[in-house]
Amino acid sequence: MKRLPLEGIRVADLTMMWAGPYATRILAEMGAEVIKIESPRAWDNIRTLIPLPGVDEPWNASYYFNDYNRDKKSLTLDLAHPLGRETFLRLVPHCDVVIENYRADVLDNLRLGYDVLRQARPDIILVSMAGYGKTGAERSHVGFGPIIEQMSGLASMTGYGDDGVPFKTGISYGDPVAGKAAAAAVALALIARRRTGRGACIDLAQREVLSSLIGEAFVAASLRGERPVHRGNRDPRWFAQGVYRCAGEEQWLAVTFRTRGDWERAAALLGIDPALPGGPADHDLIDARLSAALADRDPQDVFELLAGAGIPAGRVLDTVTIHEDPHLAARRYWVELPHPRMHPWKQPRTAWRLREADPWPRRHAPLFGEHNDEILRGLLGLTGEQVEELRREGVIGNAPVNPGVG
């Protein structure tokens, strides 16, 4: 079996919800040993979202949690307790990376900031993913994906027409974007450390990551004073572009006509009048003709017809049809992992392949505190009496305190 690029790297994962756990899932898929650390009293709330109904341990049976945290180990530690903090600092010398997405002041309030971590391991890499960063006027704000999307400026560009009403792009677009940026930052920091022997403190503000995706809008506003325009599904770079309803309940097809030639070829394939008078109303006429022509047609059939002719098109996949998509199936995108508390279901694997290795999910997400003994006794060398003291003090546990899942 080919070696994964991050084998031999250990990550202390203090993240919660989506952005941070998504970053560390990528690191785990790339071969890193990721130790997810949760307090029995302040545990990852993603465990409460969409648990499998009717199970005895719903915190171990959340679809979201098991998607974002597979291939990791679970250690419970209450970092606010002196024994929990002390134990964590015993773990740091064994780790290459510490990553967290707390509010900006939390890690320092726990007396676990970068300077403290460096005392435990001088070349440690710390990645902090506070929503608005650890410096600046808005550093104290709490960040969640939907709010960060508004604050990043992205929402000023999404909407239908110029009515001024923005539309969210989805659930929390900022989360996976920030997660991928954090994973990339870890990789770069590891490369830099290999060259220089020095660690790093990375202040990765999720808002700034998302703002970087619309750099051209900031440039246009700065240089020419342009205000963002809500174009719906249109794009000024192409001859015409839109998303059109097809047969079935909420079934849609996205199409881009790069040139008039694309439009004329598509019109011939679909039996549509290709003639256009020329002028600003042409796009509206194309939209009307396509909408009428596709209303009773299967989106997959039309997609394959247009794509086969070299016309950029794509079916808008909902949560049902995406699992049936033949392209994803051909690329072995979906995997099913055995889980002791859940039935198997399709989960997405990493979207890229490497020449040197083919990353593949290996294990379900850990049960709460599943690896406490392995890490505390095996890695840190704690005695049975020390581990029992941590348990008595509520520093560790194998179930959340006051789970409130249901």
Which residues are CB-contacts of 38 (< 8 A; sequence separation ≥ 6)? 16, 44, 74, 75, 76, 77, 368
- Locate all alpha helices (DSSP H) within 153-257, ordered by sequence: 174-196, 206-211, 215-224
pTM of the predicted model, to two decimals?
Answer: 0.90
Q: In terms of Cα–Cα distance, which of 294, 303, 313, 308 is closest to 248?
A: 294
Lowest mean pLDDT among 17-26, 292-301, 330-339: 330-339
Task: Return d(Cα 36, Cα 13) in angstroms, integer.
Answer: 5
More confident residue, 99 or 57: 99
Task: Return d(Cα 369, Cα 197) in angstroms, integer.
Answer: 33
Beta 97-100 vs 72-76: how paired, if at all?
unpaired
pLDDT tens figures, 246-280: 999 999 999 999 999 999 999 999 999 999 988 88
pLDDT at 161: 76
pLDDT tens figures, 217-242: 889 889 988 888 888 888 888 999 99
pLDDT at 314: 95
Q: How distant, in Å, are the alpha carbons of 3, 32, 353, 359 from that of 356?
A: 7, 16, 9, 10
Q: In what order do the strands lie in the sheet with 313-316?
A: 240-245, 252-257, 313-316
Lowest mean pLDDT among 4-13, 41-50, 346-355: 346-355
* Mean pLDDT of the region 152-176: 82
More confident residue, 354 or 37: 37
C-alpha count within 13 angstroms, C-beta hemisphere, residue 24: 36
pLDDT at 406: 46
SS3 (DSSP) at 316: strand
